[in-house]
């Protein structure tokens, strides 16, 4: 499998230029996991950001998608954009911040034959630790961890019936780095990674694998970075460009496919090779005795 010139190319989806639609994908050359055709994947958090940007690429692999997000109007808009005929997608409106709504969603999905679930939905409110309260933390953990755990528990019987059951969580490098003003978010993602490893062990001996993707600084439409900020972010990476949601598509499809069947309990980092300042070339060249 290879990438066409290793470049991000301009594309159109249903006549809408990718850039105008706030979508950026990597055009694949020989990037095809044929076994994904016809399989059904639940994906949460699809009306914006990484989730929205991944949809065209997942559909191009032949997957059938069950779209889950809050806000019925936005959900209908996205579904119409990526699947105008409504032949490859279904949708369920759910506010994952509400446990009762999650329980209702789980009940509605229990009888649908499924092959995988991607827990993409998350919230990342900023706040000084001393100024946050228990309600703040509970809301972050409800959306980022508890909803995913509840939904996974309910869908496991269906996933066990699949010859290639897949559970994929979305974590964040903020867990490993530690991030000011994001203590609740980073903590919730640490819990997600612990759940990934523990559940993989619990499902040993089954056809269900459990993994997590760990994105770095992925460019999404809500960010307000300018060119100066972009250059600073790029300087912290080994890969000399901003990362896009499409950079997650290949690793995700691998985990969903039979080709990724030997991977479970893994947290796969896609961060462009973030370089700690102490490990950088400029820092190490300043060490006495270094040529």
Residue 9 domain-assigned (yes or no): no
pLDDT at 233: 87
pLDDT at 284: 54
pTM: 0.87
Q: Which residues of the chain have pLDDT under 50?
A: 1-29
| pLDDT, tens digit (0-9, with 9 covering 90-100), for 153-206 | 999 999 999 999 999 999 999 999 988 999 999 999 999 999 999 999 999 999
CB 164 within 8 A of CB 35: yes
Residue 138 domain-assigned (yes or no): yes
Report the number of distinct structural domains present in the chain: 1
Residue 204's CATH number: 3.40.50.720
Lookup: tokens for 236: 């912290």
* 119: β partners: 169
pLDDT at 226: 80
pLDDT at 16: 39
* 91: β partners: 67
pLDDT at 221: 78
Residue 114 domain-assigned (yes or no): yes
pLDDT at 91: 97
The residues near 85 (Cβ < 8 Å, ≥ 6 apart) are none
Residue 18 domain-assigned (yes or no): no
Residue 211's domain comprises 33-284
Residue 17 domain-assigned (yes or no): no
| pLDDT, tens digit (0-9, with 9 covering 90-100), for 224-233 | 668 888 898 8
d(C-alpha 102, C-alpha 94), whole Å? 7
Q: Residues of the chain with pLDDT > 90: what percent?
A: 76
Ordered DSSP codes for 31-62: ---GGGTT-EEEEE--SSHHHHHHHHHHHHTT
Residue 263 domain-assigned (yes or no): yes
């Amino acid at each position: 499998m290879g990438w066409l010139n290793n470049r991000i190319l301009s594309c159109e989806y249903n006549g809408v230029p990718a850039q105008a639609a706030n979508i950026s994908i990597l055009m694949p050359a020989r990037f095809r996991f044929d076994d994904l055709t016809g399989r059904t994947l639940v994906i949460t958090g699809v009306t914006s950001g990484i989730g929205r940007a991944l949809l065209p690429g997942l559909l191009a692999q032949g997957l059938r998608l069950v779209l889950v997000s809050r806000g019925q109007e936005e959900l209908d808009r996205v579904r119409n954009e990526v699947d105008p005929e409504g032949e490859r997608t279904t949708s369920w409106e759910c506010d994952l911040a509400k446990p009762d709504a999650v329980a209702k969603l789980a009940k509605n999905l229990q009888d649908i034959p499924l092959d995988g679930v991607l827990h993409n939905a998350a919230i990342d409110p900023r706040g000084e630790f001393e100024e946050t309260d228990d309600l703040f933390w509970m809301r972050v953990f409800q959306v980022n961890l508890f909803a995913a755990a509840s939904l996974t528990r309910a869908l496991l019987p269906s996933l066990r019936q699949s010859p290639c059951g897949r559970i994929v969580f979305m974590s964040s490098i903020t867990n490993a780095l530690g991030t000011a003003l994001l203590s609740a978010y980073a903590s919730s993602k640490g819990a997600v990674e612990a759940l990934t490893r523990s559940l993989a062990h619990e499902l040993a001996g089954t056809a269900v694998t459990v993994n997590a993707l760990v994105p770095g600084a992925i460019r999404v439409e809500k960010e307000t970075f300018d060119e100066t900020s972009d250059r600073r972010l790029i300087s912290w990476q080994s890969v000399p460009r901003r990362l896009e949601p499409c950079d997650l598509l290949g690793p995700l499809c691998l985990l969903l496919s039979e080709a990724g069947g030997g991977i479970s309990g893994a947290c796969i980092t896609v961060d462009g090779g973030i370089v700690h300042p102490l490990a950088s070339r400029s820092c190490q060249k300043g060490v006495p005795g270094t040529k």
